[in-house]
Amino acid sequence: MVDRLAQARAAAAAVEDPEIPVLTIEDLGILRHVQLDGDTIEVTITPTYSGCPAMTVIAREIEGALTRAGFSSIRVRSVLSPAWTTDWMSEDGRRKLREYGIAPPDPSAHPACPQCGSKNTELISAFGSTACKSLHRCLTCREPFDTFKCH
**Residue 131 binds Zn ion, judged by CB under 5 A:** no
DSSP secondary structure code for residue 88 in this structure:
G
SS3 92: helix
In the complex, the smallest distance separating the C-beta of residue 120 from Zn ion, rounded to whole angstroms, is 8
In the complex, the smallest distance separating the C-beta of residue 98 from Zn ion, rounded to whole angstroms, is 12
Q: How far apart are CA 78 and CA 60, in angstroms?
A: 12
**Residue 135 binds Zn ion, judged by CB under 5 A:** no
Angle between helices 4-13 and 54-68 (to 10 degrees): 140
Residues 99-128 that bind Zn ion (CB under 5 A): 113, 115-116, 118
In the complex, the smallest distance separating the C-beta of residue 114 from Zn ion, rounded to whole angstroms, is 8
**Residue 141 binds Zn ion, judged by CB under 5 A:** yes
Q: Please, which residues bridge with residue 147 across strands?
A: 103, 134
Q: How far apart are CA 114 and CA 95, in angstroms?
A: 10
**Residue 130 binds Zn ion, judged by CB under 5 A:** no
- Interface residues with Zn ion (CB under 5 A) are 113, 115-116, 118, 138, 140-141
